[in-house]
Chain A
Amino acid sequence: MDIIYNYMSLYYSGIYDLPRNILIALLIAFFSLSLLIIFYFSIIIKRLIYIFYKSRDQYWTEQIDQLLNMFLSDIDEEQITDPVAKILSEFRKIPLKKRFIKHLLYQQILAYHKNFTGNAAEKLKELFLQLHLEDITKNKLMSGIVQLKIRGIMDTAQLTLTEFSPIVEQLLHHRSSEIRIEAQAAYIILNKAHPFDFFDEVKEPIQDWHQLVLLDLITRLNSNELPNFSRWLSSNNRSVIELCLKLIVHFQQYEAIGRIVDLLNHPDTEIKHLSIQALGEFEAVDAEQALLDCYAHETVEIQAEIIKALGRINSGKQLDFFMHTAALQQFEIAFEASKALIASGTKGIELLKKYQVQAPPMNKQILNQLIG
C-alpha cells in the first residue's frame, strides 16, 4: 500500500512541476479524449438503435399495410356492407397494447388517408375513430413539445376532427410561429361557419411562407362559402392586407376594386405593388385615372407595374402615354410600355414600328425582340 502511495505522490508532484502551458495541454488532451470516447459510443449506439427500430418497424408496417390494403379493397366490394366492422376484428388481433405498434398503425392510416379522397378517405377516418386512435392526436395536441403539437394540429386538420376544434382555437395566437401557422390553417378547415374570424385579431405578421400555406388551403375551398375579403383591406396588420389582396385576385372579387384603389396611396410598397397588380388583373377601367395619378411620384419598379396594369386594362385611351414611356431610357419602363402598345392592337404596333427606325439602341433592342 505504501509503495502505491509513494508512487502516486511522486506522480502528482511531477505533474504540478510541469509548466503551465503543458498542464493546460494535458487537460485539453484528457478532455478531448474523453469526448472522443463519448462520441464513439454515441455513434455506435445511435446506429444500433437505428438498425433495431428499422427492422422492428418494417415487420409491423408490412402487417398493417396488408390489412389496410385488404380494407381498401373491401370498400369497393358491394357485398360487404360494413367493411370497417369486418376489418376491426383483424386489427384487434394486432397487439395494439404495444405503444409503438399503435403509433405505427396511426401513422399508416394517416398516410393512406392523405392519398385517398371520397368514400375511401371517409372509411379510413371511421376506422381511425373505431380504433380510438384520436387519443394519440389529442395527446399530441396537448404535448409541450412544439413538433408534436404541430403534428397533432396537422393530423386534426387532415381528418377534420372537429371535437378538437376548441384546442386548436386556443393555439391561433400562439407565440411559436410554426404552431400559429398550422393552427390557423386547421381552424379554417374545422370552423366551417366563420373560418376567417382570426383575421380580425391576428397581431403578428403572417410571413410569406405562412401566407402560402393559407393560400394553398383557402384556394381549395368552395368559393361560394367564402366571405368578401375586402373587409380586411383596412386591417392594421400589413400582412393580412397582402393575403387578402392575393385572395381577392384569385377569387375574382370584383366588388373590391374601389377598396383596392384606396390602397394605391398605402405607405407600404408591397401592398401598393399588389394593389396595382390586382387592378391590372381585374382590367379595372375605372381605376385607370387613379393609376395615372400616382405614376409620377413612384419608384421605377412601381412605375413599370403601373404601365403593366394599364396595358392589361387596355382602354385604348393611353396610347400617347405608352408611346412617351416606351421612348424612355429606363429598360423596365420602356419594355412594359412597348408591350402595352403591342397589346393595344394595330394602332399601337404602327406607332412602335414608326418609332423603331429612329429609336436609340436600347429601345431598338426591345422593339426587335417584341415586334421583330
Chain B
Amino acid sequence: METFLQLIVLFFNQYIFGFAMVVMFSYLLIIVFSALEMRSYLRKNSNTDYNNILVSEFAPSVSIIAPAYNEAPNIVDNVRSLLSLHYNNYEVIVVNDGSSDATLAEMTSAFDLKKQNYAINSRIKTEEIRGVYRSNNPGLERLIVVDKVNGGKADALNAGINISHNSLILCIDADCIIEPDAILKLVKPFMDEPIKVIAAGGVIRIANTCEVKHGRLVKVHMPNDLLSRFQVLEYLRGFLLGRMAWSRINGLLIVSGAMGLFDKDIVIKCGGYSTKTVGEDMELVLRMRKYMHKHKTPYKVVYTPDPLCWTEAPSSLKILGRQRNRWSRGCLESLIMHRDLFFNPKYGTLGLISYPYWLLVEWMGPVIEFIGLIVFGLLIYLGLVNWTYTLILLVMVYSFVLAISTLTILYEELSFRQYTSGKDLVKLLLLSFIEPFIYHPLILYWEMKGNFDFLTGKKAWGKMNRNGFR
C-alpha cells in the first residue's frame, strides 16, 4: 500500500514538474514571438503618415458600436469623445440596452435627438428595438442612437451591427477612453496585409488615476491603489507579451471586448455575437476563424501594440472578483462550445497550437495550481515535505515569473514608454516582486470560483460599478 502511495506521489511530482516545464517553455516561445512581432510592427509603422488615411475619401468606412447600459453619468462625455476621433469615414452607433437610468434621456437632451422611422436589416436576431434616434444638428450627422429592450452586451452589439452601414465595425465599451487615432491604427492592418484580415485588436491600458479631460486622456499616471497597479502590470504582460506573440503566429483566439475592429461581412455570416456565453468576445473570434477555415479562405487576426484604449480597472476586490469570475466562465464556455478544435489538424495553428494552449495552459494551469496547493497542504500535514527542495522549486518559479514581468517592463520601455515618470517606473518594478504573493493568489481564487460557478450553472454577468475618471 505504502509503495503504491509513493508511486502516486512520484507520478504526481513528475507530472506537475513536466507540466511546469511545458508552461515555462511556452512562455519562452511567447517572449521570442512577441519580440519579433513588436520589432516588425515598429519597423513597419515608424515612418507611416496616418494623415493619408485621415483625409482620404478612399479610406474604408467604419461603424463604431458602443453598447451602453446604465451609463447616464458619463455617456454624454463618452459619446462626445467618440464623435471627435481622428477619422473621416465613420459613424457612431450607441445602443442603449434597456438602461433603467437616464442614459437615453441624457443623450436625447445633449444631442437634440429625434426618433425616426428607420428600416433595419435584421440579419442577426436581437431583442426588440424600441426606436432609432438621430440628431437634427448637421454637425452630429454621424451619430445614431438605438434604444432597445435589454438583452445583454452581445445582443446590443448585434443590434448595432444590424443598424451599421459600413464594412468595418469597431465594437467598444462605451465607458472606455479611445485614443483619437485609434481607428487609423486599427484600420491599417485591414489595408496593408497581403491576406484578408478579419479582426484587429488594440492594446488596452489601465486609466485609473490618469488625467482625463472631456473624455480624452491627457496624462498617464500609475494608479494610486495597489489593486489597480497590479492590473497595470498584468495588462502589460497580457497585451505586450501574450497577444503580440499570438498575433505573430496568427493564433489569436481573443480580441478584447473593450475594443476590436471586425470585418462586418464575416461577423454577419457567422451569426454575430453569441448571447449564450459571457465570453462573447472570445467566442466570436473562435467562430469567425472556424468559418474562414471551413471556407478555405486565408485570413489573419492581428493585434496592434499601440495603446489605443484606456479602461477603468476595478479597484475593489469585490468588483475585480466578479470580473475575473466572468472572464474565467466565458473562457471555459467558449472552449467547450468549440471543443471540436482540440488538436484538430483541419484547423491548422488554431486547432493544433492556439486551442490546446488555451485549454491546457490558460484554463488548466490554474486548476493544476489549485490542486497542487491542496496536495502541498496535505503533504505538510503528513510531514512529507522536503523543505530544501521546496525552497529550490519556489525560487525557480519566483525568479522565472519575476524575469517575465521585468521583461514586459523592458518591452514597454523600449516601445511606447507610457509611464514617463521615474517614480512610476520604480513602482512598476517593485510591484513585480510582490505580485506573485498578493495578487496572483487572488486571481487564482477567482478563476477557480469562476470554474465552480460554471459547473453549478451560474450565467450572470455580474454588476460592474465604476468610480469614473477624474
Contacts and interface: CB of A to CB of B under 8 A. Distances in A.
Contacts of B60: 208
A26 interface: yes
Categorize the interface residue count of chain A: 35 or more
A39 B58 contact: no
B400 A369 contact: no
Interface stretch (A16-24, A64-72, A128-136, A312-320): A16-24
Nearest to A23: B392
Contacts of A187: none
B53 A39 contact: no
Interface in B70-118: 116-118
Nearest to B417: A50
Contact of B121 (A28, A331, A372): A331
Contact of A35 (B58, B116, B392, B403): B403
Interface in B373-394: 389, 392-393
A209 B60 CA distance: 10
Contacts of A154: 47
B137 interface: no
A43 B43 contact: no
Contacts of B190: 208
Contact of B47 (A26, A32, A147, A368): A147
A178 interface: yes
B44 A36 contact: no
Categorize the interface residue count of chain B: 35 or more
Given A22-B389, A36-B399, A154-B47, A215 B192 contact: no
B117 A369 contact: yes
Contacts of B399: 28-29, 32-33, 36
B443 interface: no
Nearest to A243: B58
A32 B21 contact: no
Contacts of A178: 44, 47
A40 interface: yes
B46 A215 contact: no
Interface in A43-76: 43, 46-47, 50
Given A22-B392, A151-B47, A215-B56, A46 B116 contact: no
A280 to B, nearest CB: 16
A211 interface: yes
Interface stretch (B201-209, B232-240, B360-368, B405-413): B405-413
Nearest to B402: A36
B35 to A, nearest CB: 13
A184 to B, nearest CB: 14
B425 A146 contact: no
A128 B80 CA distance: 43
Contacts of B403: 32-33, 35-36, 39
- The interface centre, meaning the residue of A33, A50, A372 with most chain B CB atoms within 10 A of its CB, is A33
B396 interface: yes
A213 B389 contact: no
Nearest to A332: B121
B444 interface: no
Contact of B117 (A36, A182, A362, A368): A368
A216 interface: yes
Contacts of B22: none
A370 to B, nearest CB: 8
A138 interface: no
Interface in B166-224: 188, 190-194
Contacts of A39: 403, 406-407, 409-410
Contacts of B414: 46
Nearest to A41: B410
A269 to B, nearest CB: 12
Contacts of A40: 406, 429
B138 interface: no
Nearest to B13: A21
Contacts of A215: 56, 58
B395 A207 contact: no
Contacts of B410: 39, 42-43, 46
B119 to A, nearest CB: 4
A211 B58 CA distance: 9
Interface in B44-73: 44, 46-47, 52-53, 55-56, 58-60
B457 interface: no
Interface string A283-315: 000000000000000000000000000000000
A166 B238 CA distance: 47
Given A209-B191, A366-B119, A26 B52 contact: no
A46 B413 contact: yes
A182 B52 CA distance: 13
A212 interface: yes
A365 B119 contact: yes
Nearest to A330: B121
A212 B52 contact: yes
A207 B194 contact: yes
A238 interface: no
B139 interface: no
Nearest to B388: A22
Contacts of B392: 22, 25-26, 29
Given A212-B52, A368-B119, A28 B47 contact: no
Given A32-B399, A33-B399, A150-B47, 9 more contacts: A21-B13, A26-B392, A28-B399, A43-B413, A47-B413, A207-B193, A208-B190, A212-B56, A216-B55
**Which 4 A-B pairs give the minimum distances between C-beta atoms?**
A209-B192, A32-B399, A208-B191, A209-B191
5 contacts: A21-B17, A33-B399, A146-B43, A208-B192, A365-B117
Interface of B: 13-14, 17, 21, 24, 43-44, 46-47, 52-53, 55-56, 58-60, 116-121, 123, 188, 190-194, 389, 392-393, 395-396, 399-400, 402-403, 406-407, 409-410, 413-414, 417, 422, 425, 429
